[in-house]
Amino acid sequence: MIARKRGNETGGAFGERTAVVLGARLAEVEALFAAALTAPTEPEERATFAELGRAAARLAASAASAAGCRAEVIRPSRPAARKMRLQRRMLHAQRTTDQIIARCRPGG
């Protein structure tokens, strides 16, 4: 009698390689989340959260591929252009104010 193999040569329905890839991507997401929560500065936190988003998208694409379906592309919502423009103007005004104050200080 010949025993029937289930799945592919490496065992299981998805195979060891797929499981390893998914596990590695999940570990990457978990590590980036922990790093974002313990980031010492706000810019580092933002950069880590951005990388976390990209890693999570890669995980979702790999999981969808393993399940045999296409990953849905979810685009993050963007703030309104008016709000972004206002934030840029406020930031510019703050920088200008800081430069004026620095020039007016003794020794500056």
More confident residue, 13 or 66: 66
38-49 burial by CB neighbour count: b if 16+ within 10 A, else e?
Answer: eeeeeeeeeebe
Q: Number of structural domains, the chain?
A: 2
Whether pLDDT at 1 is above 60: no
- The position carrying tokens 């997401």 is 29
More confident residue, 16 or 79: 16
State pLDDT tens for residues 45-88.
989 999 999 999 989 888 888 888 776 666 666 666 777 788 88
Same domain, 45 and 88: no
What is the structure's pLDDT at 6?
44
pTM over 0.95: no
Query: Within a domain: residue 6?
Result: no
In the structure, what pLDDT confidence band is assigned to residue 100 with cuts at 50, 70 and 90?
A: confident
Same domain, 69 and 91: no
Report the percentage of the chain scoring pLDDT > 90. Answer: 22
